[in-house]
Structure 1
Amino acid sequence: MSIREARASDAEHLTRFINMAADDLPLHFWKRSVGPEGDPWAYGRERAARETGNFSFRNAWLAEAEGEVAACLLGYPADPEPAPIDPDTPPIFVPLLQLEALAPGSWYLNVLATYEAHRGKGLGSALLAKAEAIARDAGHATISLIAEDTHQDALRLYRSKGFREIARRPLVKGDWQVDASEWILFVKPL
């Protein structure tokens, strides 16, 4: 296994990983963004291939195993002084923004995902260690992440690695089809 920085050419993998990590919420958003005639996956790839923005290849690292991309880490510094939530923010995103605001100045781990064929091989643990090293090297005192209450394997991993639950918020589903009912904020001191 090796971990490398993502490249713009990895946009296809990045869109799949971010969508996987959030149970199709990104795809739901991309569909709304492009409308019925647009290609939501192309929109996601375009966003992932950008040089700037939180969801950019510049903020991602990929684990490769057996000669192929197997897992992803995407993260960035959280705002040290979160702004009030814009009243025009779609309600589905409000609980996430509320939770993010509870960990100001942390290094925010937005995506940690592994393709099914590569699960159970330690890639998640290796990428968590990489995230912690990146956060420490950047001078952050804490690392944070938000997970859904139904991602039991991920929740066990985070707890076993010293992440502590800080707060929960109910999901706002609207027409997003998902089994989860709560978002959970985890923080770990570095």
Structure 2
Amino acid sequence: MTMAATLRPAERNEAAELAILIDIASHGFASWLWYGGVLSKSAESAFEHGRDMLRQDSGLGTWRDAVVAVVDDEIAGLSVSYGIDASIGEIEAKHPVLVPLLALQSRVIGHWFIDSLGVYRNHRGKGIGRALLEHEFARAGGAPVSLITESHNDKAQALYRMNGFEEVARTEAVPLFEDMKKHDWVLFTRKAA
């Protein structure tokens, strides 16, 4: 069943909700990274640190780069995206797990990059993810659109392929834990409109 969602730019005061959806979209990877804020004693929880990072007014992937899908006056999903320029090569990975992701991003300079696309479970299968994806194509302004997903995320890959994306590269992910299931990061690109 398709449900009409209203898409609009995110607001700074929605950063906590953005953090939840970004963590859902990343299957817990975001909160794992944000836990660094707890270790450095700048936050009490990973989500507090994520919220604080998303509330920033500058930098890639903050509230200013987010679009939310609203259904019945509640946020149901989000996308976070931005243009990739040559400065991506100047970003120093703060943790080894980020090295392969930055390497893949450096291959798509000049592209519109979808950093996160997530929908709450109870709103999935209603066309919200597809609507957010189509909105990102419009935001790209004719530029190629790229994103990275996990090799075992079959549902997301099916959605991306149905919408004109092709796999262009993959690299082995650095495991977060010793006993973590191994996977690759997969770079998908949809050519310019």
Q: How does 1:64-83 map to 2 (within 5 A)?
A: 64-80=70-86, 82-83=88-89
Alpha-carbon distance in structure 2 between the residues aligned to 1:110 and 1:10 = 18
Structure 2 match to 1:186 = 188
> Does residue 58 of structure 1 match 2:69?
no
Q: Given the two structures, how large is their TM-score scaled by the length of structure 1? A: 0.90
> Does residue 49 of structure 1 match 2:69?
no
Q: How does 1:155-170 map to 2 (within 5 A)?
A: 155-170=157-172
Q: Give the conservation status (yes or no) of the 8 Å contact 2:61–2:82.
A: no
Specify the SS of the correspondent of 1:42. Answer: helix
Alpha-carbon distance in structure 1 between the residues aligned to 2:73 and 2:91 = 43
Alpha-carbon distance in structure 2 between the residues aligned to 1:177 and 1:17 = 25
Alpha-carbon distance in structure 2 between the residues aligned to 1:164 and 1:36 = 39
In structure 2, the CA distance between the partners of 1:79 and 1:61, relative to structure 1 (3 Å rule), is: same
Q: Given the two structures, how large is their TM-score scaled by the length of structure 2? A: 0.89
Which of 99, 104, 107 is the matching residue for 1:99? 104
Q: How does 1:68-147 map to 2 (within 5 A)?
A: 68-80=74-86, 82-83=88-89, 86=92, 89-136=94-141, 140-147=142-149
Alpha-carbon distance in structure 2 between the residues aligned to 1:129 and 1:76 = 15
Specify the SS of the correspondent of 1:52. Answer: coil
> Does residue 32 of structure 1 match 2:36?
yes
Segments of 5+ residues of structure 2 without an aligned counterpart are none
Q: How far is 1:176 from its partner?
A: 7.8
Q: Deviations over 1:63-107 (max 9, x none)?
A: 011331101010000124642664x64210011011101111101
Q: Deviations over 1:94-127 (max 9, x none)?
A: 1101110111110100000000000000001100
Specify the SS of the correspondent of 1:154. Answer: helix
Which of 148, 151, 166 is the matching residue for 1:149? 151
Show structure 1 runs of 4+ deviating over 3 A.
Answer: 176-180
Residues 175-184 or 57-66, more deviating: 175-184
Q: What is the number of equivalent residue pairs in this alignment?
A: 186
Counterpart AA for 1:14:
L
Q: How far is 1:26 from its partner?
A: 1.5
Alpha-carbon distance in structure 2 between the residues aligned to 1:179 and 1:117 = 26
Q: How far is 1:174 from its partner?
A: 3.6
Question: Identity of aligned pairs, percent?
Answer: 31
Specify the SS of the correspondent of 1:76. Answer: strand
In structure 2, the CA distance between the partners of 1:85 and 1:52, relative to structure 1 (3 Å rule), is: closer
Alpha-carbon distance in structure 2 between the residues aligned to 1:2 and 1:34 = 35
In structure 2, the CA distance between the partners of 1:95 and 1:4, relative to structure 1 (3 Å rule), is: same
Alpha-carbon distance in structure 2 between the residues aligned to 1:41 and 1:184 = 26
Alpha-carbon distance in structure 2 between the residues aligned to 1:67 and 1:32 = 33
